[in-house]
Amino acid sequence: MSFEPKNPMVKWVEARLPITGMLHHALYEYPTPKNLSYWWTFGSLAGFMLVVQLITGIVLSMHYTAHVDLAFDSVEHIMRDVNYGWLLRYMHSNGASMFFIVVYLHIFRGLYYGSYKAPRELLWWLGLVIFLLMMATAFMGYVLPWGQMSFWGATVITNLFGAIPVVGDTIVTWLWGGFSVDNPTLNRFFSLHYLLPFVIVGVVILHVWALHTTGSNNPTGIEIKDKQDSIPFHPYYTVKDLFGLGLFLILFSAFLFYAPNWMGHPDNYIPANPLVTPAHIVPEWYFLPFYAILRAVPDKLGGVMLMFGAIAVLFALPWLDKSRIRSARFRPVYKQLFWIFLLDCVVLTYIGGQPAEEPFILIGRIATGYYFVHILILLPLVGMFEKPKPLPASISADVLPKDSSDKEASNA
């Protein structure tokens, strides 16, 4: 089913730049497994949130001033004076949280259904690169309002690089452009915060390209074998994704209009003061699990390495997981471990938000240990010893009633 335009204008363009055909292939005819559940909606929701963040961010930057003396006031100016400024800023700040919510669900979907396994390793890697870029972008964006949490968050995170032996201090000074977080730091963070989303767009294009090369995974984890297993992306999944978007926008609006500061910190409405650290500094919720891992180690370099290691090990996942069965539906032991791992991540998130005192330190250490045990030890072992359940013959055979599957297949 190739793209054959009838409109002479489209034909003329297509002969010179086959962009319409490319979009047609990607968004219309793309053969998609016919059994995708709503867990497969979060990829397109993440794409939607990227666009929301880009548009709101570009208009916010029309009113924002990146200077230590003016940044805080310019954000208040946006909130009070700029037409709909409150709406745009709350969309952007809550949008960041929403973006991370859908991306985390998207990642855990991939973990449950084994979407990282061959031949989708590069697809998984590109996703992790997007995740890393998102974290860098969100961190630098949070610095821009120049409140207390902005300033001290920037101080703590940039100091992480000071843990690097020998050149650590030189690198931190280079990042700051001075001897503390100050105006040069704010300026460069604004510049990079504006740049990185466009880098993310570039990697998203590669991510989707890789996806459309290998095809989507699905709840059975088995590949499309013939035409009966797939349906065109449009209208089936465009409509399904749009319905999911509608539900998601209800959740987004609930935060946006009824609890816009619920996921923020009151301390960030206090202008930055380089001489006073707030009594209890915590990062935004989406960084809490990594913050808990950082604090679990009573050693500066060790904590920093373990925190970056927590993401680095995810890159090795396609090779650590020895099982050739993708979907947890057919992996009785892994299925249980998945939920324990998810619970472990929730515990880490909770601990990251608590002060550095007992019993939180001990719980944080146990949860950090389990995070790495799951990925580095349990995952390879389970793949070797687990006896998987029998796989269905095909996607079609799985979704159609057993007795009528032959008849349905012949009718199709």
Partner 1 sequence: MTTTTPIEEDGVKRRDFLYIAAGGVGAVGTALAVWPFVAQMNPSADVLALSSTEVELDAIDVGSEITAVWQGKPVFVRHRTKEEIAAAEDVDITTLPDPQADADRVENPAWLIMVGVCTHLGCVPLKESGDYDGWFCPCHGSHYDTSGRIRKGPAPTNLLVPPYEFLSDTTVKIG
Q: How far is the CB of 271 from partner 1 (least distance, A)?
A: 16
Q: Which is nearer to partner 1, 87 or 297 (CB)?
A: 297
End-to-end, the C-alpha distance of the chain in Å comes to 17
How many angstroms separate the CA atoms of 198 and 36, rounded? 29
The number of beta carbons lying within 10 Å of the beta carbon of residue 154 is 25
φ, ψ for residue 281, nearest 5 deg: -100, 130
The answer to whether 24 is a known catalytic residue is no
195 binds partner 1 (CB under 8 A): no
Among residues 122, 128, 132, 160, which is the contact residue for partner 1, using CB under 8 A?
160
Q: What whole-number distance in Å separates Cα of residue 44 and Cα of residue 105?
A: 12
Q: Which of 93, 97, 150, 216 is catalytic?
A: 216
Look up 121 and say whether it is catalytic.
no
In the complex, the smallest distance separating the C-beta of residue 181 from partner 1, rounded to whole angstroms, is 8
Between 298 and 401, CB nearer to partner 1: 298
Annotated catalytic residue within 229, 241, 321, 344: 241
Return the residues of window 294-333 that contact partner 1 according to CB under 8 A: 295, 297-301, 303
Rounded Cα distance, 274 and 181, in Å: 8
Looking at the Cβ atoms of 276 and 381, the one nearer to partner 1 is: 276
Q: Half-sphere exposure of 21 toward its Cβ, with a 13 Å CA cutoff? A: 14
- Judge whether 327 counts as a catalytic residue: no
Burial 203-238 (b: 16+ CB within 10 A, else e): ebeebbebbbeebbbbbbbbebeeebbbbbbeeebe
Q: Quick count: other Cβ atoms within 10 Å of Cβ 261?
A: 13
**Is 173 one of the binding residues for partner 1 (CB under 8 A)?**
yes
The DSSP secondary-structure symbol of 29 reads: I
The answer to whether residue 25 is catalytic is no
Nearer to partner 1, 5 or 162 (CB): 162
276 binds partner 1 (CB under 8 A): yes
d(CA 107, CA 14): 36
277 binds partner 1 (CB under 8 A): yes
What CA–CA distance (Å, rounded) separates 87 from 93? Answer: 10
Which of these ranges, 168-176, 194-202, 333-341, 393-401, lies near partner 1 under the rule CB under 8 A? 168-176
Quote the CA–CA distance of 113 and 42 in Å, as a whole number: 14
Interacting stretch for partner 1, rule CB under 8 A, among 217-225, 227-235, 278-286, 346-354?
278-286
In the annotation, is 212 catalytic?
A: yes
Shortest reach from residue 153's CB to partner 1, in Å: 10
Interface with partner 1 in residues 337-356 (CB under 8 A): 355-356
Fill in the amino acid letter for 142: Y
* Catalytic annotation, residues: 212, 216, 240-241, 284
**Positions in the binding site for partner 1 (CB under 8 A):** 152, 155-156, 158-160, 162, 173-182, 184, 188, 274-281, 295, 297-301, 303, 355-357, 361
